[in-house]
Amino acid sequence: MNKKELSQLYFLNREIEEQQRRLQELECLATTCTSQITGMPKARGVVDRLAGYVAEIADLKSLLDLNIKKCFFELNRLNRFINTIEDSQMRMIFALRYINGLSWLQISFSIGGGNTADSVRKAHDRFLQKQ
């Protein structure tokens, strides 16, 4: 595996977060729509905004469900790869980086033992070059 393949879970999670934010925004727009005042003349070209929001919300929910399923598949694939690594410290580095999404500095603090962010990153890079 290379860094791009390993980072897919991170990017899927960011995409899911963005879709959830957009869904929340659309639901807010759909619930705050004002009702039509009866007896007033109607302007040309007025469309039912609520119906448009409902359709967009349904589409976004189906995309969100699909991405969540992809996320679970990607998590399983990463776990299978990480479990094949023999060195326990390297397994920990990969799990903290690609499953938990920690920075190199946070990983070095979690591992301890005087490791720096650069030493952890370089060990990671050397491991991937051997693969």
Contact indicator for 64, 44 with CB cutoff of 8 Å: no
Q: What is the pLDDT of residues 15-53, one digit of tens each?
A: 999 999 999 888 888 777 555 555 655 655 545 667 778
In which residue ranges of the chain is pLDDT below 50?
A: 46
pLDDT at 89: 95
